[in-house]
Amino acid sequence: MAKQSVSLVNRETSWLEFNGRVLQEAADETTPLIERIKFLGIFSNNLDEFYRVRVATLNRMLDYNKRSGESLSFSPRKVLKEINRIDREQQKEFSGIFRNIVRKLAEEGILIVTEREITRPQGEFVRKYFNQYVRSQLFPIMLNNLKSSSLVDKSIYLAIRLSSSARPGKFQHAIIRVPSKPLPRFVLLPSPDERKFIILLDDVIRYCLDEIFSIFGYDTFKAYTFKFTRDAELDIDNDVSKSFLEIMSESLKQRRLGAPVRFIHDKTMPADLLDILKHKLEISETDTLSKSGRYHNFKDFMSFPDIGRSDLLYAPVPPLEHRRLPRQESILNVIRDQDILLHYPYQSFHYIIDLLREASIDPGVKAIKMTLYRVAKDSSVVNALINAARNGKSVTVFMELQARFDEEANIYWAGKMQEEGVKLIQGIPGFKVHSKLLLIRRKEGEKNVYYANVGTGNFNEETARVYADDSLLTADPQVTADVNAVFHLFESKYNPPKFKSLIVAPFHMRNFFTRMINSEIRNAKNGMEAWCIIKLNNLVDDKMVKKLYQAGKAGVKVRIICRGTCTLVPGIKGLSENIEVISIVDRFLEHSRVFVFHNGGDEKYYISSADWMVRNLDNRIEVACPVNDAGLRQELKTMLLIQLKDNTKARIVNHPDINPYKDAGKTPRIRSQQEIYNYLKGI
């Protein structure tokens, strides 16, 4: 484990260890077989984004260091070397897991076959499929004409060696993109029995290469897969004469021409062909060059085809009804009388859709305001907001155009909403709005009454089925007044108001959490009970880590549930022996941020959109919201304590052994996500 110091883990290697936990799920024999192959897809997709963003940033730092001669506080070259070492080890493990899963699938009568293994009737089917669906999507580029700018990021290509038996030793080369969008990556083949045969689109193309190239006199074809990954960081233009929508649109076009950061190729590719590709694609010595197997872009395995074997998938977990939100009753009326806490995906996100639908047609509702960061492909949230505007409501949306990899979708939805009369507050270059807020203003008698929703995750009905998040519905006047103040903040060019209830970054959040930890430190030094429970996705802010070390040294019991990157090292004698850090990686993606402080017996509970990273605390609009209802506090605490007792899917973070399971082998077995579902089902 590469460390910056004894007490801080490098954030990049920590992230790779998190992705290693995803790989553990693919290796876990207790995970249903098809879910295991989907975890390989998640691992691959995660790694792609890591290279496109984090490795690309390190490459930029390395280049800057060379050009400027300035010394950075760490060596990007050393970090890149360590990343490549870990990546090689994980890729070796990945390949072994994939081979094992393929064997297990075959034992279940599910065979992933190559173009060399199909029967004649299957071959006839493949040719028919190729000519009907695939051929029109293929646009070969002769290698002599290839330019780096011709290649599409996140795609896989076949480098094809063409030859003729009439001219032995004479070769030509071509490049074909495998069109896994818009086509599916997997094709189900006809079977003579009950077995299922699956061929990848790559091999469909391999089987039919003669359909494309034989007219040019070639009769021998050999195809080798490669994948080309670009720098995905955006360079934001500061031209004040352009709207931010225009600036973002132009920046996205530039992303398609980003510098190469990773080149993966079939290890059987001939050296001369590899050299030509490296030259044509401008692959330098600083770019990651990896040998791999026959198939790349395993992210497509996240969409493994439905083969009718539910026994090889997770058992269905139907969303639970919330006992305080009976169907066919006004949600607004319920919220007026009591706070409600929703927990996705255990409970349905459709309560939010129902709330928006009710607000869009309720004659008393006059205005709706909402922040949007990532929305679903066919967003019911956006459609509900558009419907509200059509019904004469004043609808205002802050659409964050800088949501990484969702920029194009957000630009599209921004345009749709503007067309329908929704007032759009556009993002600001260099400054992201990451808070998850909804505010409804309703005229009740002679006064305006406000209703708010503050959440830890996006207003996205698709991800809410797999992301574990918390969402507070409230009519508390202090909370709703502060939510309203946040929206005024957007509209008044960031003149920060004073907040009475919400903790808002970048104005107060860092100082607030520092004060809360300091309070626990004072209590511990005075011999009082002192503890905190911190749940987040990433803990990499050096100042907050050092403050937690200070708390641990003072005797504060610090328990942390951190799914992803964590630079803090627990269990160091004299520094962090009072700190426990676990990560839970399971069926659902742990996404909520929850903070609990003992506070001398007057326990304080907060849910938040913010991790403890510099970007969240100092460079984004983030919100932490107090949970004031005693019953809801107990609900949150019970769920956190269940997770802290997990001995099935919890791993110890930054242990000398990488990713050991916590309390492995102990009984009774506690799998927190299942236990939380059962708990919520019973309350």
Q: Is 77 annotated as a binding residue?
A: no
DSSP 146-213: --GGGSPTT-EEEEEEEEETTEEEEEEEEEEE--TTTS-SEEEEP-SSS-EEEEEHHHHHHHTHHHHH
For residue 63, the tally of other CB atoms under 10 A from its CB is 13
C-alpha distances in Å from residue 610, one per residue of 192, 220, 537, 605, 623: 54, 57, 9, 14, 7
DSSP conformation class of 589 = E
Check the annotation: does 374 bind a ligand.
yes
Cβ atoms of residues 642 and 456 within 8 Å: no
Nearest CA-CA partner of 475 in 269, 299, 581, 331: 331
Question: Which residue in the block uniquely carries the two structure tokens 């094709």?
Answer: 187
* CA-only gyration radius of the chain, Å: 27
Catalytic residue among 265, 296, 434, 598: 434
Of 36, 35, 20, 31, nearest in space to 98 by CA? 36
The two structure tokens encoding residue 406: 């969702």
Residues 6+ apart with CB under 8 A from 430: 236, 619
| Tokens matching residue 172 | 């030509």
Ligand-binding site membership of 309 (annotated): no
Name the residue type at position 649. K
Q: Is 133 annotated as a binding residue?
A: no
Look at residues 31, 95, 20, 590 and name the one whose alpha carbon lies nearest to residue 298: 95
Whether residue 508 lies in the annotated active site: no
**DSSP 8-state secondary structure symbol assigned to residue 55:** I
Residue 67 has a CB neighbour count (10 Å cut-off) of 8
State yes or no: 120 annotated in a binding site: no
From CA 43, how far away is CA 29, in angstroms rounded? 17
Spatial distance between the Cα atoms of 533 and 543, rounded to a whole number of angstroms: 18
Phi/psi of residue 242, each to 5°? -105, 150
DSSP state of 364: T
Is 32 strand, coil or helix?
Answer: coil
Strand-pair partners of 469? 344
How many Å from the N-terminal Cα to the C-terminal Cα in the chain? 43
Q: Which long-range contacts (CB under 8 A, 24 or more apart) does 414-419 make?
A: 414/245, 415/245, 416/382, 416/386, 417/382, 417/385, 417/386, 417/389
The dihedral through the CA atoms of 253, 258, 262, 267 has a sign that is: positive
* Residue 465 annotated as part of some ligand binding site: no
Q: What are phi and psi of 362, to 5 degrees?
A: -65, 120
Q: Count Cβ atoms within 10 A of the Cβ of residue 657 and give its class: 0-12 exposed, 13-18 middle, 19 or more buried.
A: exposed
**Which long-range contacts link 75-80 to residues 24+ away (Cβ below 8 Å)?**
78/2, 79/2, 79/10, 79/12, 79/13, 80/55, 80/286, 80/288
Length of the chain: 683
Give binding residues as ranges.
46, 374, 404, 467, 563, 591
Give binding residues for ATP as ranges.
46, 467, 563, 591
**Residues that are catalytic:** 434
